Amino acid sequence: MKRIAESTVRRLSLYLRFLEEFEAQGHQTISSGELASQGGTTSAQVRKDLSFFGSFGKRGLGYSVSALSASLREILGLGRQWNVIIVGAGKIGAALAQYKGFRERGFKVVGVYDTDSARVGRSLDGVHVKDQRELEGDVAKLKPQIALIAVPAEAAQPLVDRLVKSGVRAILNFAPTPLTVPKGVTLRSVNMALELEILSYALVNADD
Amino acid sequence: MKRIAESTVRRLSLYLRFLEEFEAQGHQTISSGELASQGGTTSAQVRKDLSFFGSFGKRGLGYSVSALSASLREILGLGRQWNVIIVGAGKIGAALAQYKGFRERGFKVVGVYDTDSARVGRSLDGVHVKDQRELEGDVAKLKPQIALIAVPAEAAQPLVDRLVKSGVRAILNFAPTPLTVPKGVTLRSVNMALELEILSYALVNADD
DNA sequence: ATTAGCTTGTGAAATCATTCACAAGACCGC
DNA sequence: GCGGTCTTGTGAATGATTTCACAAGCTAAT
Ligand SMILES: NC(=O)c1ccc[n+]([C@@H]2O[C@H](COP(=O)([O-])OP(=O)(O)OC[C@H]3O[C@@H](n4cnc5c(N)ncnc54)[C@H](O)[C@@H]3O)[C@@H](O)[C@H]2O)c1
Ligand SMILES: NC(=O)c1ccc[n+]([C@@H]2O[C@H](COP(=O)([O-])OP(=O)(O)OC[C@H]3O[C@@H](n4cnc5c(N)ncnc54)[C@H](O)[C@@H]3O)[C@@H](O)[C@H]2O)c1
């Protein structure tokens, strides 16, 4: 299949969230326009996004909320549970480990790792923090598909290398540093200071 | 001035970070190619990004690290301290309040607010948590330019409305819900579950 | 069965972003 | 001062994404 733009995947994920809300409200069908207004986009965009994957609607009627939800879940790979590990049990790592929003969307935290012996052994919402030396062994055993990186910037690249070597193929990084991964591994970074800098830019350029 | 793409602003922010590292290493000049390789982009992209704002380099030589850093800081509005408030002192709000990375980049947390009386009064790294009823008064007094939203999804829109009414013009939202702001206010959202869903998509479509 | 009223799916057009490619400028060594 | 070697700044070309616009399909009402 043709490569799909990340912006499209991002919107599909948003559409799914709105569909679930709609479903909870008891609606049976939804039009591209309604979906668009929720997501801050246009009806044409919604239809174009969906058209890359097939044809899900009924002309004159719209989309079946439940059928489209199911299709989007399928497309996004959310019909299953993903096992996730978190490395770094500091402030942000602990918050992520306890975040209910992940589990609700099918991402289960199966391990949390740290170097600091003061943190190892503690329990974060049912998952107990282990020493990072157990990382490789656990990855081989538990086969988590996704790893979250919540360690200091300078520890991030060596950690990525270990994770990749152990077989992790998708990484979400929170350390504010550029990282490289070999082909075949997907890396995404969330950089919060950078988000604030974009706001800063917007504030000083408010007049345009 | 012509409107600048967000992707450009994002890269400028990254360039600045690399320049600071370069400066710390004692380098005087840097070429677009060196800057590009750090940021995972191309030299042409770097030059084009900068060209929107002026001409900062010397042909044959490259850019003065310190002069370009200063220019980028100016462009991004980072030549000053920004005051930031955080609403919601739960797990993620507390992590953000204690995050050193913000202060290092000129963002100072001047207030943290919550509804929960068990959390009010605690101190998070020097800033003590106040009752959210003090929000409006404090915003009038402290004039924070930026607010971070770390409350449950259902509390987010009413909170945005209060913040906007009080004069906050830039908001970074961590609640996984769509929010609307009037024109003149900048809103950005960080949606971590969505980041994981993009990874999920990448994993199930690894072969393309 | 026909019509009226919606809404989809999709080529074509328009807009936006990135990459190419090269003239022009700067430095260095001789 | 000149030739050689770099590297910038930038139009033009390419590529990607979004928007437009409309034929075609479905429903419901009569
Ligand atoms: N706190 C935030 O809100 C926040 C926000 C954005 C980004 N970040 C980034 O997230 C990362 C962690 O930040 P934090 O505030 O949680 O810091 P922290 O110091 O609270 O936590 C870092 C943890 O990582 C552990 N660690 C260090 N090296 C390790 C390794 N090799 N293996 C396993 N664990 C290791 C430390 O023992 C510590 O517990 C940093 O890169 C930071 O820039 C934090
Ligand atoms: N924990 C995470 O890692 C994480 C990650 C991504 C997004 N989020 C999102 O961030 C938000 C907070 O998550 P959390 O895990 O910190 O939850 P939490 O329950 O630990 O914290 C929420 C806090 O907000 C406070 N609050 C509620 N309504 C408020 C109001 N009107 N004004 C001020 N404070 C109010 C609550 O008292 C509580 O202390 C949620 O929307 C969540 O989806 C959390």
What does the pLDDT look like over B152-180, one tens digit per residue? 999 999 999 999 999 999 999 999 999 99
pLDDT of residue B106: 95
Please, how many CA atoms are within 13 Å of residue A156, restricted to the half-sphere of its CB? 21
Q: What is the CATH number of domain A6-75?
A: 1.10.10.10
**A81 with A104: CB under 8 angstroms?**
no
Lowest-confidence segment of A14-18, A95-99, A124-128, B33-37 by average pLDDT: A124-128
pLDDT of residue B125: 87
| Nearest by Cα to B21 from B59, B60, B55, B66 | B66
Distance CA B112, CA B206 (A): 42
What confidence category does residue B123 fall into, taking pLDDT thresholds of 50, 70 and 90?
confident
DSSP-assigned letter for residue B5 = P
pLDDT of residue A1: 66
Superfamily for the A82-194 domain: NAD(P)-binding Rossmann-like Domain (3.40.50.720)
pLDDT at B205 over 80: yes
**How far does chain B reach from its first CA to its final CA, in angstroms?**
40
Q: Using only C-alpha atoms, what is the Rg of chain A? A: 20
How many contacts (CB atoms, under 8 Å) link A and B?
Answer: 174
pLDDT at A23 over 70: yes
* CA of B116, closest atom in ligand 2: 37
Ligand 2: residues whose CB is within 6 Å? A 95-96, 99, 101; B 87-93, 113-116, 119, 132, 150-153, 155, 159, 174-176, 192
pLDDT of residue B206: 84
Distance CA A173, CA A188 (A): 6
pLDDT at A207 over 90: no
| Nearest by Cα to B12 from B99, B84, B77, B60 | B77
Outline which parts of chain B fall under CATH 3.40.50.720.
Answer: 82-194
Distance CA B107, CA B144 (A): 10
Distance (Å) from the C-alpha of residue A58 to the closest C-alpha of chain B? 26
CA A6 to C1' D27 (Å) is: 36
Structure confidence by residue, pLDDT tens digits, A155-166: 999 999 999 999
Structure tokens, B67? 């002069």
pLDDT of residue A89: 97
pLDDT at A134 over 80: yes
Distance B156 CA to ligand 2 centre (A): 9
pLDDT of residue B1: 65
pLDDT at B116 over 80: yes
Structure confidence by residue, pLDDT tens digits, B180-203: 999 999 999 999 999 999 999 999
pTM score: 0.95
| % of chain B exceeding 70 in pLDDT | 99
What confidence category does residue A208 fall into, taking pLDDT thresholds of 50, 70 and 90?
low
Structure confidence by residue, pLDDT tens digits, B76-91: 999 999 999 999 999 9
Outline which parts of chain A fall under CATH 1.10.10.10.
Answer: 6-75
